[in-house]
Amino acid sequence: MKKILPILLITHLFGLLSCKETPKEKSQVNADSQYVEKIKKISDSISIQGISIKNLFKSQILAHQGTEYDSTMIIEKVYRPHQKLWDNCYGMIFGEENRHKFNTKKGMVEWNRTLYPENKTFFDQRAKTLLDMNLDSVLEKNLTRFNQLVPHKIKSTISILFTPIEGISFGGCENDEFCIELNYKESEIDYIIEKGLPHELNHLAYEPFRENDPKKNSALRQTIDEGFACYFTWVFFDGQISKYEAVENMSESDWNWYLDHEKQLFTELKQYFVDESGDNPLLRNDKIQLFKDAPKSLNYWLGFRIIEKYVEKNGVDSWKDIYELNVKNVLEESGYEKYINEI
């Protein structure tokens, strides 16, 4: 008994130490387990009337939750579901030296092997933001509302994902090659999905009608296009968000600055409506001394005002006309220039 007693005491001591550590460790294990279970419950995709949003980030996280990295999950749940995006869009925009990362199974498996572990804290934070906003519900609500409002149906595939190179944020190359990058650090991801999604979807609905527009490459087209997307966002939320929030989430003071300089702005900038270079003061207000200190989103704001005046003149539902009208006709039929001249 004398030989056994010290061993019993030591064993008892280790047991006490283990008990002191267990509650904290157990709490963390439970939290991690609950987080993973919530991720599993997110839909792989939400599809409503031709628009499909794929939650690829879900499998990019879950592939690392087992005892070993699940490369098969990356191929079957991340690469194949939106292969056109990876092969064509990402494979093109990041150059020849990076193409293999996206348009091969081996390349996709390799960068996904390290990307999540190396950015786990930030990526989990992003994912938890989406969980907190009830992602599936918001996507279903937005897609349903969009299809109820827009008279022209679209087909589009948009993936929500992590990528090793920041470059798109929210956008793409074709209607079926769109994405929302969760790792774009400057973005407010919940705002983008709730408020930015209607804006971008409206671009996709508007784009097909530009093919035969004589001014499709002009600065006026870009102004009307962006202004219309902003106006549509305001309509989408039944005017429950402010007009200045609908225009690139600008501040009220920025909006008022534009109102105070409206006549001067239009008079000075209308000469650039026909420009097709993309390098002009209307699209880049830093290019003109008079307006170099103007707030962001000058052409977005001006386009919004043109659409707003069009609707005031032609009726509350007349914004639906904008999809099919040439941009020159939108400007003329808005009466905006007459309004400016009477200020």
Per-residue pLDDT tens digits for 59-77: 999 999 999 999 999 999 9
| pLDDT for position 331 | 98
Residues above pLDDT 90, as percent of the chain: 76
| pLDDT for position 93 | 86
Residues above pLDDT 70, as percent of the chain: 89
- Read off the pLDDT band of 20 (50, 70, 90): low
147-150 contacts at long range (C-beta below 8 A, 24 or more positions apart) = 147/48, 147/49, 147/51, 149/232, 149/235, 149/236, 150/201, 150/202, 150/205, 150/320, 150/323
CA distance 174 to 326: 22
| pLDDT for position 5 | 44
- Read off the pLDDT band of 9 (50, 70, 90): very low
- Read off the pLDDT band of 141 (50, 70, 90): very high
| pLDDT for position 265 | 92
pLDDT beyond 70 at 113: yes
Contact 214, 287 (CB under 8 A): no
| pLDDT for position 26 | 59
Nearest Cα to 90, choosing from 78, 341, 152, 125?
A: 78
| pLDDT for position 29 | 61
| pLDDT for position 90 | 93
| pLDDT for position 71 | 98
- Read off the pLDDT band of 287 (50, 70, 90): low
Q: Helix 105-118 crosses helix 120-132 at what angle (to 10 degrees)?
A: 90
- Read off the pLDDT band of 23 (50, 70, 90): low
| pLDDT for position 25 | 62
Per-chain mean pLDDT for the chain: 90
pLDDT beyond 70 at 111: yes
- Read off the pLDDT band of 24 (50, 70, 90): low
| pLDDT for position 11 | 45
| pLDDT for position 310 | 98
| Rounded mean pLDDT, 313-326 | 97
pTM: 0.86
Secondary structure string (H, E, C) spanning 267-316: HHHHHHCCCCCCCCCCCCHHHCHHHCCCCCCHHHHHHHHHHHHHHHHHCC
pLDDT beyond 50 at 10: no
pLDDT beyond 70 at 241: yes
User: Among the listed ranges 115-129, 164-178, 294-308, which one has the minimum average pLDDT value?
Assistant: 164-178
User: Among the listed ranges 86-90, 93-97, 257-261, which one has the minimum average pLDDT value?
Assistant: 93-97
- Read off the pLDDT band of 169 (50, 70, 90): confident
Which range of 154-168, 270-284, 302-316 scores highest in mean pLDDT? It is 302-316
